[in-house]
Every structure is written in structure tokens, then in C-alpha cells.
Structure 1
Amino acid sequence: MVRRAVQVTALAAVLALTGCTQLVGGVARPERPDVTKVSGLDITTGESGAKPGAPDADLRVENGDGGEMDRLAINALADVAEYWSEQLPARFDVPFEPVKRLVSYDSNGAGVEICRTNTAGVANAFYCSLDDSIAWDRGELLPMLDDAFGPMSVVTVLAHEMGHAVQYKLGDKGGITQATPTIIKEQQADCYAGNFFRWVAEGKSKHFRISTGPGLNQVLATMFFIRDAAGTSAEKQGAHGSAFDRVAAFQFGFAGDPRRCAAIDEAEIDARITQQVFAQQDRDQGNGKGNLKVDDPEALEALEESLREAYKQTGAVPPEVSTSGADCRDAEETSPASYCPSTNSISVDLPDLVRIGTPPKRGQKGGIGDFAAFAEIASRFALSIQKATGYSLEGPAAGLRTACLTGAWAGTTTQGGARLKLSSGDLDEAVAELLADGSLIAADVNGTVVPSGFARVEAFRDGFFDGSGLCTRKYSG
């Protein structure tokens, strides 16, 4: 975040939306969803990954080694192909023709010529329309994803690549041409991956199963990992999107059908894509580019000012914010910030705040970044607003309402006169925090977190785009 008023060109379309009730780039949603569900499915915490005892698929693969990564990739692609063999005729009246070539390679070994590219040193997975092929690196990329996020991360990447194949096979019916900007193609492919994962979550996949709690959290974490770097322009050739934007597209697909994904076009992208380049003012302010020192008194003062401004229309008495500890008789202590209903006060643990607000450096451990730290304080401020307006502060509805109201605050920091403003990468920090097991942004007054990271991110996004009015209607409990 930055403390100076700077122009945020990529978010210009958001300014007109903050505080209104118009839905942008989403799907029709009920006003009062069941907070125990994810897009109508029960929140489950069972095993995710390969189904025990499922026989391996039999697909012809070039250059494979028959190892674990190739088996995982083949089973994934077989299931994704089965899904699209059902959906293309049903949704678009187009037959699904299987991808002509499947190619495995080891980026650490001898190169293979695919799509006019030698794969030596290329740790990637990709679809090539020149020969209708999908290729993957079994040597480095797939093992790394599997080790970091589990086998469903590999399925995520390959479902995305099959999404590109679907675009090619749909042609004009998918709204994609050679001239279509990359970001639109990538958003559609992420959305198509969401379509497939809904099918898996419904138990229809032969080879895989996924829980809608921890399982989907890992899928969204994978999309965070493969996001564009902060400061990358959405207009850049090859841009895939920020984590915030990629997760949004996946969620649209999970909640809707493939026609929703095919409808993603330039107008929608212009309205909701948040990815932006760093402004000149986003210089290194002592904590890395675009990050403030979160224990800087001036930064904390600007944060409190932005929170008071964001919620002033409620008429609620703002809570007192202190960096000294305080006992509270009616709520548990939460880190790095706690809200006490009986005293209407927030106590902040500065060392913990600094830990979260210090972004990681290459090869070193760290927290997340300044926005994640400030948003955790904002979440406790949002609880005070809920208390003043008569809402319960405990339970899953309170957690999602808190995430939504925190998103609404974040939306106000895009406005022209704001002293504290969003910087490139800030919303990705929000995604990282929301997917963490102990996310305070989506926790009730006692720190109890909604088990579904999917639901947490969706609630935050609701508030960011549509303002606090939607939060109190949709997550009324």
C-alpha cells in the first residue's frame, strides 16, 4: 500500500462500483446463502487426490516414462476430456474432439520439439493450437507442484491447459480469435478449470476426489502460486492475471456452467480486472516495493483514518485502537489484532503485525505484506460495525460478513482522495491471507475461521466490488 494519493488506472472501473449493489463479472447469487456450503455444495474436509483403487486411464502419450507424474497427468487429462465430452455438446452443441497429441518431457533432460519450441530447460505445461497438443514437464514442474500443494495442483494446471484446447475447439462460439488479448484467454481457461472442479466435487470424476474445504483451498493456493508477479500489466502479451483475478475466474466457473466462462470478454475484463503496474509513487518505502512499514505510526494513523471513512455512513462509534494489550471479558484474544465488544476497542500486537506485514524475500522466510497486516486490523474494525448495527459477532456468518466488510474497506482505498491506497499486489496479499488456516480477515470475534477458503475469498470479493450494503444483506446469518 502507499500513503500518498496516486492514480490507480487499472482500478478505475472499480471506483464507480464501490458501495453500490451492481454485480460485476459474476453469476446470479442468492441474497442469503447457506454459510455451511460452497456454491450450494456442503463444505467437506475429507481426503483430496486420487481415488483409491481407480484403474489408470489408457491414453497414448509421446515420450512418457510411465512414472508417477505421467500417470497423474494422464488420469487428469482423461477425466477432463470426459467432462468436456459431456459439456461441449450439451452447452454449445459442439462435439468434443480429443486433443491430438499428449506429450511428456523432462525439462532437465534432452529437449523435445513441441510447438516449434525445444523443451530443454522449460519447466512448464502448455497447450499448442498448431498441432492440437498438450505437453507437460514431468521432471521439474509437476513434482514441484505435487510436493508443494498436493496432486490436485497438477490436475488444476492440466485442467487449465485443456481449457485452452476447449477455446480452440469452440472457435467463434467461445468468443476467442487470434486477436483476443491474452488475459481474456487466460481468464476463460481458469474459469473452465473451475467448471471441471465443480464436476469433481460432485463426485463424478473417475480418478479424483476433492473436499470443498481444504481440497479447494489447495487448488486456490496453486492459482496464487502461478499468478503473475506484482507490477505486471494485464495488457502485457502473455499475462495470466493476478491471484485475485485468477481465483475470481475459477470461482465463476465453479459456481456456473461453461457458458459463463465463454462470456468473459473485453468489456468484463475492463470492468473487473485489478492487475496493475506499479505507479511511480510505489517506491521502496522501507519494506519492499509497494509495501509500507506496518509499525510506522504515520501508516497506522492513515489506516485508522481510512477505516473511519469507509464505515462512517453506518453512524457507528468507531472503536479505539491501541498498541498496548488489554484484558477482555467477552471475547478471545486474536493475533495480530483483537476486538473487545464490551469496551469497543482494538488492541494490536505490533511484533505480530510486523511479522505478517514483512513480505518474504527470495530464499528467506517472511510474512505476506502490508495489506495483509492492515486487513487483519480492518477485520476487527469491521466487527465493531457489526456490533453497533446489531449483528452477531460469532459463527460462520459473522466470519464471512467480516471478510465482506473488509473487502468493502479495501474498495474504498482505490478512491481518488484516499490517503492510504492500494498498490500492485495488495489484493494478492489478501488472497494469501484468506487462504491461510488461521485467516483473521474471515474470522469471527473469537478467531474462529470459516473452513472454506473458497467462501472466504468470495466474501471478500463481494465487498470489494459491491460495497458494505451487499455484505449485510447476503451474509445476514
Structure 2
Amino acid sequence: MRLVSARLALLTAVLLVTSACAQVVPGNPVAGETVTRGKVDPGFIRGTDGGPIDQLAATAITDINAFWEDAFPEVFGDPWRELEGGIYSVDTSDPSAAPPPCTEKAADVEGNAFYCPSADAIAWDRAALLPVLQDRFGDAAVVIVLAHEWGHAVQNRMGITPEAERREPRRFPTILTEAMADCFAGSFIKWVNDGESGHLDIGSDVLDSALGALVDFRDPVGTSPTDRSAHGNAFDRVSAFQDGYQQGTKFCAAMTVENRAFTQEAFTSRQDRERGGNLPFDELLTEITPDLNAYYEAVVRQAGGQWAEPRTTPTEEEPDCSGDQGPVAFCPADGSVEVEVKEELPELHAEIGDFATGLLLASRYGLVARKAVGGGLEGEGAATGALCLAGAYTREVFTRQQGFGLSPGDLDEAVKVLLAYDYAARDAVGESALEPGFKRVEVFRGGVLEGIKACGLT
């Protein structure tokens, strides 16, 4: 987070689409569940070694293609056309491996998966991409990445070609076409989740880990949305995926620069860039506490309630004043907010970023606001309402022209903490937490995109 004197408007215009979409960012491996009910022979994949990773890819591709055989005619009125240029698996660890289309040598594919529009072909690195994804995020992440690349093939059949992009770069910026491909991937995963897939079984319980791939494939913090290769921040990418999951392929196909807003932004000060958009832990607490108080006081008064500023109490142990709410807790008995300042919260702050701390605080202040207007403090409604209000607060600080505001990367930090932890979605007795993280992000997005009206504050 940062103090701002002025902020840039939301920007969406960029220039051209790049072919490489997926590039692995270092992270910690997590256990992933198998998502296949039966393996498909990868013999149709050019360059395959017939191994397990290409079997998974072949299984995913078979169902992705089946999905589009039905969905494409329904959305666009034309039959689906198979990829003319084929599917390529590349062993980038083998110097003698043949290069796929759109490359000069196999090493050009290292760490990547991409759609080549000139050849109407898809290729991936089976040595340094798909197995790394599988190890880090589970089988479902491999499926999502391939479904995203298939989304680019869909765009090509829609007429969003490199030629069209060169003629009308403002109409087809990279950040938009990438969001559309993420959206198409979400539509496919919902189809699988609904039990329509012949070979895949991806329940909502494995999506949190798989979405970690989209988070890691975000643009580096501070990338301008006008950058030629901008793909979007984590919030924008996960949002597009969720929109496809919830709204379907017609919604994705209708995305334009006029109806799609993006939150990605560049750094606007050298100081903010030098510290990566993060305030030190103690400074963040000092700056955000009065800001939260002022915001929620205005919200409560508008709702007809009486605001009493909560006393913020630091503690070296996890708060236990009202059940297990995590390292930040609202204590209904005395109206205070306890903040653990010795271990877990500072560690989250250091590991994820300062808005991990900010979001947890904003959600507990959301419970304070609910109490002030006579709202319930226990149960799913309280947990959902508190998280939604944290999203509404985030919307406020993001859109400010002056004062205390968000830095590039803060919304990504919110997505990370919501996928990994349920603290921001616990009620005032530490229960009724929303599961899975996919749902928590959805509720938070509601507050960010719609503001207070989405949160049912009564």
C-alpha cells in the first residue's frame, strides 16, 4: 500500500498479442489430486514420448476439444474446426528435439505453452513446464493452462487474428485477449465440474491449488497495462476465469475494451517501486487503522447506525477473545480488534505482502460495522458480509485520487491470502468460514466490483 497524491485511471489499451502465455514463476510445491478418470493415448501428439505428462495432456485436450465441438456452434453458429497444425510436445532438455511451429529451436519453448496462430497449432514444454505445474499445483493446473491455450485457438476462429490485432490494436489489446482465454478456460472447467466431461473429474475442492498457476502467471508487479506483453495481474486473471466459470462462453466471447475494466497498473513513484509496493508491517498498521475507522464510520452512518471506533490492541499471541478468527480478531464483548504482532501476521505480511495484513484487518472491521447496524455476527451471512465489506473498502482505496491507496500488487496479495487462508471469511466466533478459496475470492470480488451494495449491510 502507499500514500498517493494522484493515481492513474484504469487502463486497458495495449498493442499486440504475444504467442507465449505460460511461464513458470518459482513457488512452493503443493499436493495435487489426480483429475483423470482414464488416460487417453497421446499418440496423436507430435513429438510425444508417450509418458504420464503427455497422457495427462492428451486426456485434457480430448475433453477440451469435445467441449468446443458443442460450445462453439452454440455461441458462434459455425461448426468447430479442428486444429489444422496439430499438437506438439517438446522436450526442451533435448538439444536435438525438433522445434514446433512459430519457433526456430526447441529451446525457444522452454518454460512455455503457446498457441501459434499462423500454423493453428499448440505446443508445450513437457520437460520444464507441464511437470512443474503438476508438481506445484496439481493435475488441474495442467488442464487449465491447456484450456487457456485452446481459448486462443477459439479467438482465431472468432476473427481475432494477428492481422486483426495489428489493424486494430486498441480493440484487441493483449490484456483483453488473455482475459478472454482465461474466461474460456473457466467455462470449460465448469463444464467438467458439472460432470459433462468424458475423462476428467475436477471438483471445486481442487480449484484453489490449480488457480495458483494463474496467480503465478500474472505479470510482474508494476507492469503497465499498456505493455505489449501484458497478460494481467492475478486479480484480473482469476476474475476472468471466475467469470467464465459462472457466466459461460457467451459472456467470454462478448468481452471488449468497452465492457471489461482491468485493475493492473504501473508504479507511479520511485519510492513505491523500490519497496515493491509494500509498507513495513508497523507502518502499515499505523496508516491503515485510522483509514479503516474513517471509511467504516461513513458507511455505518449512511446505513443509519452509530459508529464507535474500535480499540486496536496488539498482542503477541493469537487472539482468543472470541473464538479462533486467526491473527486478527473482532472482540464483540468490548468492541475491540486484537492484532497478533509477533509471529503469524508479520510472517504473512512478509511472505505475501502488506495487503494480506490489510485485508484481514478490513474484514474484522467489517464485523464491527455489522454490529453497529444491528447485523448478525455469527454464521455464513456474517462471514460473507465481513469479507464483502473488505472488498468494498478495497474498492474505495483503489479508486482514490489522493490519500491512502493501493499499490500495484495489492489486489494480487488479496487473491493469494484468500486462496490460501480462510481468516478473512470467518464470523465473530471463528466459525462458518467460507470454503473453498475460490468462493472467498468470488465474494471479495463482489465488494470490489460493486461496492457496499453487494454486501447487504443492514
TM interval, shorter chain, is 0.7 to 0.9
In the alignment, what sits opposite 1:394? 378
Q: Distance in 1 between matches of 2:373 and 2:191?
A: 40
Of 392, 417, 422 in structure 2, the residue corresponding to residue 433 of structure 1 is: 417
Amino acid at match of 2:335: N
Partner Cα separation in structure 2 for residue 71 and residue 12 of structure 1: 41
- Pair 1:322–1:98, CA change in 2 (3 A): same
Greater mean deviation of Cα atoms: 398-407 or 425-434: 398-407
2:25 alignment partner in structure 1: none
1:450 counterpart SS class: coil
1:404 to 388, 391, 398: 388
Code of the residue aligned with 2:429 in structure 1: it is: N
1:276 correspondence with 2:265:
yes
Residue 468 of structure 1, CA deviation: 1.5
* Contact 1:49/1:150, CA 8 A, preserved across alignment: yes
Q: Give the distance between the partners of 1:253 and 1:11, measured in 2 at CA.
A: 22
Q: Distance between the aligned counterparts of 2:238 and 2:418, measured in 1? A: 12
Query: What residue number does 1:203 align with?
Result: 195
Q: Give 1:245's aligned residue.
A: 236
- 1:417 and 1:90 map into 2 onto residues whose CA distance is 44
Assess, with a 3 A threshold, how the Cα gap between structure 1 residues 347 and 266 changes in structure 2: closer, same or farther. Answer: same
Separation (CA, whole Å) in 2 of partners of 1:171 and 1:86: 19
Counterpart residue number, 1:443: 426
Aligned counterpart in structure 2 of residue 51 of structure 1, from 36, 56, 60: 36
> Which has the larger displacement, 195-204 or 111-120?
111-120
| Secondary structure of the structure 2 residue equivalent to 1:420 | strand
Structure 2: distance between partners of 1:181 and 1:172: 11
Q: How do 1:17-416 residues align onto structure 2 when only pairs under 5 Å count?
A: 49-52=34-37, 54-57=38-41, 60-100=44-84, 101-110=86-95, 111-117=97-103, 118-120=105-107, 122-171=110-159, 177-178=165-166, 179=169, 180-212=172-204, 214-269=205-260, 272-283=261-272, 288-296=275-283, 299-311=284-296, 312-315=298-301, 316-324=307-315, 331-351=322-342, 352-358=344-350, 367-416=351-400
1:389 aligned partner, one-letter code: V
Write the distance in 2 (CA, Å) between the matches of 1:282 and 1:276.
16
Question: How far does residue 282 in structure 1 lie from its aligned partner after superposition?
Answer: 4.1
Percent identity for Structure 1 against Structure 2: 36
Contact 2:148–2:184 (CA<8 Å) still a contact in 1?
Answer: yes
For the residues of structure 1 that align with 2:387 and 2:164, how far apart are their CA atoms? 35
| Unaligned runs of at least 5 residues, structure 1 | 14-46, 359-366
Greater shift in the superposed pair: 121-130 or 340-349: 121-130
Find the aligned partners of 2:133 and 2:141 in 1 and give their Cα distance: 6
Deviation by residue 1:396-436 (Cα, 9 ceiling, x = unmatched): 22222111100111111134465321000000000000001
* Residue matched to 1:42: none
Contact kept in structure 1, 2:382 and 2:427, CA below 8 Å: yes
Contact 2:319/2:339 (<8 A) preserved: no
Distance, in Å, in 1 between the alignment partners of 2:318 and 2:50 is 60
Of 394-403 and 150-159, the range deviating more from structure 2: 394-403
Residue 22 of structure 1 corresponds to none
Contact 2:41 2:50 survives alignment (8 Å)? no
Q: Which residue of 2 aligns with 1:32?
A: none
- 1:6 partner letter: S
CA contact (8 A) 1:48 1:215 kept: yes
- Secondary structure of the structure 1 residue equivalent to 2:375: coil
Write the letter of the residue equivalent to 1:294. Answer: F
Aligned CA distance change for structure 1 residues 228 and 327 (closer, same or farther; 3 Å): closer
- On the 8 A contact 2:221/2:276 being kept in 1, the answer is no
Contact map agreement 2:7 2:402 (CA 8 A) in 1: no
Query: What code does the residue aligned with 2:5 have?
Result: V
- Whether contact under 8 Å (2:316, 2:340) holds in the other structure is yes
Unaligned stretches of 5+ residues in structure 2 = 13-31, 302-306
> Structure 2 matches for 1:5-24, cutoff 5 A?
5-11=4-10
- Which amino acid in structure 1 is aligned with residue 404 of structure 2? L
Distance 2:92 2:123 in 1: 11
Using the alignment, how far apart are the partners of 1:244 and 1:423 within structure 2? 13
Q: Indicate conservation of the 8 Å contact 2:317/2:340, yes or no.
A: no
CA contact (8 A) 2:63 2:198 kept: yes
* Cα pair 2:219 2:233 within 8 Å, conserved: yes
TM-score, normalising length: structure 2? 0.86
* TM-score normalized by the length of structure 1: 0.83
Aligned residues: 422
User: Matched residue of 2:323: which SS?
Assistant: coil
How far apart in 2 are the matches of 1:442 and 1:329? 17
- Pair 417,125 (structure 1): closer, same or farther in 2 beyond 3 Å: closer
Give how far 1:5 is off. Answer: 2.0
Structure of higher RCO (CA pairs closer than 8 Å, 6+ residues apart): 1
